[in-house]
């Protein structure tokens, strides 16, 4: 099977961290060309710090990490320290990063890589607000036709919102950016809360992380133990929902996921429903079916894959 050559755009975030670790632990299927950071869960300075800490935890200080947009396209930044803690990576105690950020700006790296690499050979994996990707598409419209696929964590339909009654966090932070991406015509795979809320780190699953006895296994167990508070309290969940790792797991084992090719549009004006992903799951409109919207997964297969791969690091 052809390898996925990817750029990970991210706002770490404990779940982003697990998604990045899964990608770095899967060289047979995934070649990570670079990691671009965006403001989201916490401000850009912290997401750029956290991404490098995760690469060093994985033993990959060579991985190029770029700093991107520090605020959404058209509104003030909303962050989520109430979920991820003050640093965005609360839970484990990890050393400050030694590896430097790379030049240039993340948006220029995305544009430059897509122009330099063969057409249709690069997949963008978006784990945070879509600001960097939307800015790249706006500044360099020619790259849209060169992108193989965008696989993103964001949105919700049956699960409705996690930051407002109507909106999921990544889309809510930058709805204008999401609107640009969803209208771009680029093939999009969406991992909404509908599926990520079924990828819960229950106690036995977290025990399996800790039982690895490795720095990575222990750090992931500590991350999920911190990160689960919010969802356990709000939803009565059985554990932390691993939102972003659904994106990288899709690249490795798409068959454990199921969804529908439907129309998804973004609310960008109403204050009441700003950032809502209006998903035409039941096909009641003839709007273009612009996204593969994932609704379910085989959670045991997902955690089996995750545990097997993280144990490699």
Query: Annotated catalytic sites, by residue?
Result: 243
With contacts defined by CB under 6 A, how many residues of the chain interact with ligand RIB?
15
**Residues with Cβ < 8 Å from 38, sequence gap 6 or more?**
9, 10, 11, 44, 47, 68, 69, 106, 128, 129, 131, 132
Helix axes 215-235, 299-310, angle to 10 degrees: 150
Under the criterion CB under 6 A, does residue 15 sit at the interface with ligand RIB?
yes
Under the criterion CB under 6 A, does residue 41 sit at the interface with ligand RIB?
yes
276, 161 contact by CB (below 8 A): yes
Between 11 and 225, CB nearer to ligand RIB:
11
Between 45 and 207, CB nearer to ligand RIB:
45
Between 40 and 295, CB nearer to Ca ion:
40
d(C-alpha 263, C-alpha 266), whole Å: 10
Q: Which does 168 bind (CB under 5 to 8 A by kind): Ca ion, ligand RIB, none?
A: ligand RIB
Establish whether the linkage from the previous residue to 222 is cis, with ω within 30° of 0: no
Under the criterion CB under 6 A, does residue 128 sit at the interface with ligand RIB?
yes
Among 72, 85, 97, 128, binds Ca ion (CB under 5 A): 128
Q: Which does 88 bind (CB under 5 to 8 A by kind): ligand RIB, Ca ion, none?
A: none
Look at strands 277-279 and 4-10 and give their pairing.
Answer: unpaired
Among 90, 174, 244, 267, binds ligand RIB (CB under 6 A): 244
**Which one of 63-71, 137-145, 163-171, 252-260 is the stretch in contact with ligand RIB (CB under 6 A)?**
163-171
Q: How far is the CB of 62 from ligand RIB (least distance, A)?
A: 25
CA dist 54 → 36, 129, 309 (Å): 13, 19, 15
Among 7, 14, 16, 190, binds Ca ion (CB under 5 A): 16
Under the criterion CB under 6 A, does residue 91 sit at the interface with ligand RIB?
no
């Amino acid at each position: 099977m052809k390898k996925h050559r990817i750029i990970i755009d991210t706002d770490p975030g404990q779940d982003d961290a697990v998604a990045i670790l899964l990608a770095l632990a899967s060289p047979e299927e995934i070649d990570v060309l670079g990691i671009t950071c965006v403001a989201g869960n916490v401000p850009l300075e912290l997401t750029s710090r956290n991404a490098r800490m995760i690469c060093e935890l994985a033993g990959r200080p060579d991985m190029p990490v770029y700093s991107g947009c520090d605020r959404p396209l058209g509104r003030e930044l909303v962050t989520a320290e109430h979920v991820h803690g003050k640093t965005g990576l609360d839970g484990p105690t990890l050393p400050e990063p030694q590896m430097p950020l790379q030049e240039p700006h993340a948006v220029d790296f995305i544009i430059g890589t897509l122009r330099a690499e063969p057409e249709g050979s690069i997949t963008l994996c978006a784990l945070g607000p879509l600001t960097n990707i939307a800015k790249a598409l706006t500044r360099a419209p020619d790259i849209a036709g060169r992108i193989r696929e965008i696989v993103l964590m964001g949105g919700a339909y049956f699960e409705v919102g996690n930051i407002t009654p109507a909106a999921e966090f990544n889309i809510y932070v930058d709805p204008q950016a999401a609107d640009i991406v969803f209208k771009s015509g680029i093939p999009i795979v969406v991992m909404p809360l509908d599926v990520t809320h079924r990828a819960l780190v229950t106690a036995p699953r977290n025990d399996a992380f800790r039982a690895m006895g490795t720095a990575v296994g222990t750090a992931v167990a500590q991350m999920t133990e911190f990160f689960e508070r919010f969802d356990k309290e709000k939803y009565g969940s059985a554990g932390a929902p691993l939102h972003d790792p659904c994106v990288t797991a899709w690249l490795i084992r798409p068959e454990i996921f199921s969804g529908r090719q439907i129309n998804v549009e973004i609310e960008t004006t109403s204050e009441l429903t700003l950032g809502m992903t209006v998903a035409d799951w039941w096909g009641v409109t003839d709007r273009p079916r612009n996204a593969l919207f994932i609704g379910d997964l085989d959670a045991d297969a997902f955690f089996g894959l995750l545990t097997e791969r993280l144990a490699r690091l």
